[in-house]
């Protein structure tokens, strides 16, 4: 709930619903006016359950409740009891008049703060125009995404990604994370740094929950979005919604094509070889994608709804890279040189289906039962060829290699949640969930010998992975006028096994853990609150961390998984301070996280070939400070700022060598938004990430900027968006790995990657009662 002004002593509350169906209406506007002067006093927007609570300094008031497509309700006969006026259920009737004359839209604030999470409303971020789901995360406070697609929350990995509050293959790293989600499908992104026991315990750094759009306005409504861009970035999106008394039918369709160029460099050297290997290359990745979402809600009656949703996506990928390798002697002179070319083709089918049943009870608006069953599948059929072409020198390689991958992952989730309010202050939640993963990866590496392809048996195998997690939780919450507390306990039992079919090598793990949580809040003044929280989390090894196969794109810099990897555990503490005024709001957080059995990528070098493998190394203590501020100096200018500082202390040892270190990474994001004449909005975003250290690496800092421009035309029924991502092509991934010690050979490794600047121009048109998209969609990198 977004409250615009709260510095008052009387409270007005209620719930807003559709007059015909009785369904809650989120994001309705509630205005409190002085009854005698008709001047605005304060206001709010309703939450997901249609509820609202707004403060006023006087009792002689009128309340106006409005929502696009509905007739405004005005309430004047208002009485207060103990400084509270409960308006009960307010029913809004559908407005049958056309919207051709004028279209007025209210905007939610970019970020809303709630007890245990923050909600980032996607549509109000202009630089989100043309972004994919993964790129969109990089605009969210506390979240950073590097060029390789690695997601960090407050500077830490181990982040769990959910779709509509549930795990999804469509958002997993093995499924080309968020590859089929375009920004016009996304309503909001929730950042949960300290989740309660109701949520999965997975993700030692926290949870990012992506909420997809699902309109429910009566009649036929929809929108069309068309994008084009440089480099190749072309897509078409269609959203349709048909609502009747009993049924809500919704669909989204997207097709597109995009090219992702890349420049890379690397250096490898070690004491066991007098020479070093230097490479530089460039290439691009092309993706053509198709996705469709179909779903329906059937309202059996006012209290029972059944929903069925299906999501299918299909990707066609092609990659082409050319990399020049030089073998340098001790005098830094090239004694051999060759070019390594790569060509990759892949197809990726993905689908997800969900059956959900929701029952509401009459005794309280929050009393409900929710059951869902979800099935996911992601497949990949990929083949890559590598050709080394000698330029000069006896050491130049002329090998030809080929890799073939047949991959499949199925994930099945069954979830039951029950919420029981005993009164307006005390609520209990309980539920259970079972998630099962079944994965296979048939991977072969072949070399051309005497005109025949010969499989390398040492690097090829069939890898099978299964994991089942059974969890149950209970939480209890007490919420008074100024004080609230929520405590919970979750238990999860994990059964995981891996198998290398050809060698018969197996690894099985079975363990049960308890995950407590505690959250509290206290409203010191009407515009100043303090929140605190504790939770225990787990990060289980992901598929690609366990998969032992080698990535040989660069044969001098390869990565492999570790089937014996163990999960890491984290205890997380944080205190938040929230201050809110009409033109200025400030949120500050102090947090601490203690992590054991930390999963860290460890690199070793043999004959100038660096091999990186994840291992469990030591403990990690992370203490940080985060600041989020918003200032609206005028009606046409708004400023948002996000700052995060994180001090990391690592204690660890590997093969007799100490890897203790400390690091102080920080990130800054400043957003400036201007509302210009002629319904033009302009937004500029500046980002900075400092240099920081990891287990063996030094990661370089960088700064980059994005801009977004939006123009509403045809009385708001159409919107034109222009976005420029990374204006100065300064967003890079650069790292140095330096290792010295008696037990580990001395070596040096340098890696550099850069994507470049992306331009996207899009137009969106809404029809029926549909609204033009505030942003447009594209594929991820």
pLDDT digits (tens, 9 = 90+) for 201-246: 887 677 787 777 665 555 677 778 888 999 988 888 888 877 777 8
Report the CATH number that the domain containing residue 399 is assigned in CATH.
2.40.170.20
pLDDT-derived band at 184 (thresholds 50, 70, 90) equals low
Look at residues 68, 92, 116 and tell me which one is the last residue of a structural domain: 92
pLDDT above 50 for 180: no
- Residue 601 covered by a domain: yes
pLDDT above 60 for 616: yes
pLDDT above 80 for 646: yes
Which helix or strand (DSSP H or E) is residue 319 part of?
strand 304-328
Given a contact cutoff of 8 angstroms between Cβ atoms, the answer to whether 628 and 645 are in contact is no
pLDDT digits (tens, 9 = 90+) for 471-503: 999 999 998 888 889 999 999 999 999 888 888
pLDDT at 609: 75
Three-state DSSP state, 133: helix
pLDDT above 70 for 185: no
User: Can you list the positions of beta strands (E) in 329-399?
Assistant: 334-360, 368-392
**Of 603, 618, 623, nearest to 658 (Cα)?**
618
pLDDT at 177: 43
* Top-confidence residue, 432 or 685: 432
pLDDT above 60 for 329: yes
List the single range of 122-131, 295-304, 558-567 with lowest mean pLDDT. 122-131
Question: What's the whole-number mean pLDDT along residues 355-369?
Answer: 88
Given a contact cutoff of 8 angstroms between Cβ atoms, the answer to whether 589 and 626 are in contact is yes
**Of 215, 217, 245, 216, nearest to 95 (Cα)?**
217
pLDDT digits (tens, 9 = 90+) for 45-56: 787 678 888 888
pLDDT at 649: 92
User: Can you list the positions of beta strands (E) in 617-717?
Assistant: 619-634, 637-651, 653-654, 657-658, 661-663, 666-676, 680-689, 692-693, 697-699, 702-713
Report the CATH number that the domain containing residue 69 is assigned in CATH.
2.60.40.10
Question: What's the whole-number mean pLDDT along residues 532-544?
Answer: 88
pLDDT-derived band at 100 (thresholds 50, 70, 90) equals very low
Pairing mode of beta strands 661-663, 637-651 = antiparallel
pLDDT at 235: 87
Q: What is the dihedral of CA 19, 23, 27, 31, to 10 degrees?
A: 40
Given a contact cutoff of 8 angstroms between Cβ atoms, the answer to whether 562 and 548 are in contact is yes
* Top-confidence residue, 494 or 158: 494
pLDDT-derived band at 97 (thresholds 50, 70, 90) equals very low
Residue range(s) defining the domain that contains residue 237: 219-767
Look at residues 37, 63, 92 and tell me which one is the last residue of a structural domain: 92
pLDDT digits (tens, 9 = 90+) for 539-583: 888 877 887 776 666 677 778 888 888 999 999 999 988 887 777
- Residue 493 covered by a domain: yes
- Residue 413 covered by a domain: yes
pLDDT at 244: 75
Distance CA(574)–CA(196), nearest Å, equals 13
List the single range of 131-135, 422-426, 666-670 with lowest mean pLDDT. 131-135
3-state helix, strand, coil in the chain (%, to 5): 5, 65, 30
Mean pLDDT of the chain: 81
pLDDT at 175: 42
Distance CA(293)–CA(282), nearest Å, equals 36
pLDDT above 50 for 176: no
Find all residues with CB under 8 Å of 617, minimum gap 6, and list them: 598, 600, 602, 652, 653, 654, 659, 695
| CA distances for 215 relative to 218, 242, 363, 417, angstroms | 9, 9, 27, 24
pLDDT > 90: what percent of the chain?
25
pLDDT above 90 for 650: no
Question: What's the whole-number mean pLDDT along residues 451-469?
Answer: 86
pLDDT above 70 for 659: yes
- Residue 450 covered by a domain: yes
- Residue 184 covered by a domain: no
Question: What's the whole-number mean pLDDT along residues 296-324?
Answer: 90
pLDDT above 90 for 347: yes
Look at residues 67, 92, 117 and tell me which one is the last residue of a structural domain: 92
Report the domain count for the chain.
2
- Residue 112 covered by a domain: no
pLDDT at 428: 95
pLDDT digits (tens, 9 = 90+) for 262-272: 999 998 887 77
- Degrees (nearest 5) of the Cα angle 645, 646, 648? 155
pLDDT at 102: 31
Distance CA(29)–CA(14), nearest Å, equals 12
Question: What's the whole-number mean pLDDT along residues 505-515?
Answer: 91
476 and 613 co-located in one domain: yes
- Residue 637 covered by a domain: yes
| CA distances for 50 relative to 17, 640, 670, angstroms | 6, 27, 32
Question: What's the whole-number mean pLDDT along residues 454-479?
Answer: 89
- Residue 98 covered by a domain: no
* Top-confidence residue, 563 or 778: 563
Residue 742 Rama label (left phi>0; alpha psi -120 to 50; beta): alpha
- For the whole model, what pTM was predicted? 0.73
Residue 561: CB atoms within 10 Å: 21
pLDDT-derived band at 451 (thresholds 50, 70, 90) equals confident
Given a contact cutoff of 8 angstroms between Cβ atoms, the answer to whether 751 and 735 are in contact is yes
pLDDT digits (tens, 9 = 90+) for 682-709: 889 899 999 988 877 889 999 999 998 8
Question: What's the whole-number mean pLDDT along residues 302-308?
Answer: 89
Question: What's the whole-number mean pLDDT along residues 518-527?
Answer: 87
pLDDT-derived band at 68 (thresholds 50, 70, 90) equals low
pLDDT at 514: 96
pLDDT at 276: 87
pLDDT-derived band at 139 (thresholds 50, 70, 90) equals low
pLDDT at 393: 83
Distance CA(291)–CA(621), nearest Å, equals 42
């Amino acid at each position: 709930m977004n409250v615009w002004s709260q510095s008052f002593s009387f409270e007005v509350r209620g719930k807003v619903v559709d007059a015909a169906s009785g369904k809650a209406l989120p994001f309705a506007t509630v205005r409190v006016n002085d009854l005698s002067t008709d001047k605005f006093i304060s206001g709010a927007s309703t939450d997901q359950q249609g509820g609202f609570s707004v403060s006023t300094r006087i009792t002689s008031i009128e309340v106006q409740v409005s929502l696009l497509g509905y007739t405004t309700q005005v309430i004047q006969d208002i009485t207060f009891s103990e400084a509270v006026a409960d308006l009960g259920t307010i029913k809004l009737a559908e407005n049958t008049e056309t919207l051709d004359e004028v279209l007025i839209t209210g905007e939610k604030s970019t970020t809303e703060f709630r007890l245990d999470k923050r909600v980032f409303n996607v549509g109000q971020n202009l630089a989100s125009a043309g972004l994919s789901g993964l790129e969109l995360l990089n605009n969210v406070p506390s979240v950073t995404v590097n060029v390789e697609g690695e997601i960090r929350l407050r500077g830490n990995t181990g982040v769990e990604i959910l779709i509509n509050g549930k795990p999804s293959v469509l958002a997993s790293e093995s499924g080309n994370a968020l590859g089929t989600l375009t920004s016009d499908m996304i309503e909001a992104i929730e950042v949960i740094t300290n989740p309660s026991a109701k949520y999965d315990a997975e993700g030692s750094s926290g949870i990012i929950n992506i909420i997809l759009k699902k309109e429910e306005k009566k009649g036929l409504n929809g929108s069309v979005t068309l994008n084009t861009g440089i480099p190749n970035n072309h897509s078409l999106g269609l959203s349709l919604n048909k609502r009747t008394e009993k049924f809500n039918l919704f669909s989204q369709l997207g097709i597109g094509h995009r090219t992702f160029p890349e420049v890379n460099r690397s250096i490898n050297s070690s004491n066991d070889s007098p020479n070093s290997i230097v490479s530089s290359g460039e290439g691009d990745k092309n993706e053509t994608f198709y996705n469709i979402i179909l779903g329906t809600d059937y309202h059996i009656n006012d209290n029972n709804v059944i929903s069925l949703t299906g999501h299918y996506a299909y990707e066609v990928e092609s990659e082409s890279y050319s990399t020049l390798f030089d073998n340098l002697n001790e005098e830094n002179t090239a004694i051999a040189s060759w070019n390594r070319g790569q060509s990759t083709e892949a197809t990726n089918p993905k689908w997800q289906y969900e059956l959900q049943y929701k029952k509401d009870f009459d005794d309280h608006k929050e009393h409900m039962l929710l059951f869902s069953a979800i099935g996911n599948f992601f497949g990949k059929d990929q083949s890559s060829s590598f050709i080394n072409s000698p330029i000069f020198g006896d050491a130049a390689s002329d090998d030809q290699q080929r890799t073939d991958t047949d991959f499949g992952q199925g994930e099945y989730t069954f979830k039951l949640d029950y919420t029981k309010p005993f009164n307006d202050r005390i609520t209990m939640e309980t539920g259970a969930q079972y998630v099962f993963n079944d994965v296979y990866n048939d991977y072969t590496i072949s070399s051309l010998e005497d005109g025949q392809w010969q499989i390398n048996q040492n690097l090829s195998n069939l890898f099978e992975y299964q994991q089942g997690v059974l969890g149950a939780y209970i939480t209890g919450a007490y919420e008074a006028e100024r004080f609230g507390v929520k405590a919970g306990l979750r238990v999860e039992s994990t059964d995981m096994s891996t198998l290398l079919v050809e060698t018969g090598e197996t690894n099985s793990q079975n363990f049960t853990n308890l995950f407590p949580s505690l959250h509290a809040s206290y409203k010191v003044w009407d515009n100043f609150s303090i929140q605190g929280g504790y939770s225990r989390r787990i990060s289980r090894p992901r598929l690609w961390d366990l998969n032992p196969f080698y990535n040989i794109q660069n044969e001098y810099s390869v990565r492999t998984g570790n089937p014996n990897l163990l999960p890491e555990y984290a205890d997380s503490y944080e205190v938040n301070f929230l201050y809110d005024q009409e033109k200025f709001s400030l949120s500050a957080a102090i947090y601490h996280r203690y992590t054991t059995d930390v999963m860290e990528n460890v690199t070793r070098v043999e004959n100038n070939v660096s091999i990186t493998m994840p291992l469990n190394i030591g403990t990690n203590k992370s203490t940080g400070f985060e600041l989020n501020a918003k200032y609206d100096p005028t009606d046409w200018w708004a400023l948002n700022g996000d700052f995060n500082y994180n001090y990391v202390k690592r204690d660890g040892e590997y093969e007799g060598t100490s890897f203790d270190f400390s690091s102080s990474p920080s990130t800054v994001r400043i957003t400036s938004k201007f509302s210009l004449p002629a319904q033009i909005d302009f937004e500029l975003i500046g980002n900075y990430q400092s240099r920081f250290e990891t287990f063996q690496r030094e990661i370089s800092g960088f700064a980059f900027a994005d801009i977004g421009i939006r123009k509403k035309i045809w009385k708001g029924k159409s919107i034109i968006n222009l976005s420029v991502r990374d204006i100065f092509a300064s967003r890079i991934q650069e790292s140095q790995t330096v290792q010295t010690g008696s037990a580990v050979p001395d070596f040096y490794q340098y890696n550099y990657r850069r994507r470049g600047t992306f331009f996207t121009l899009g137009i969106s048109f809404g029809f029926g009662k549909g609204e033009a998209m505030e942003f447009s969609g594209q594929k991820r990198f």
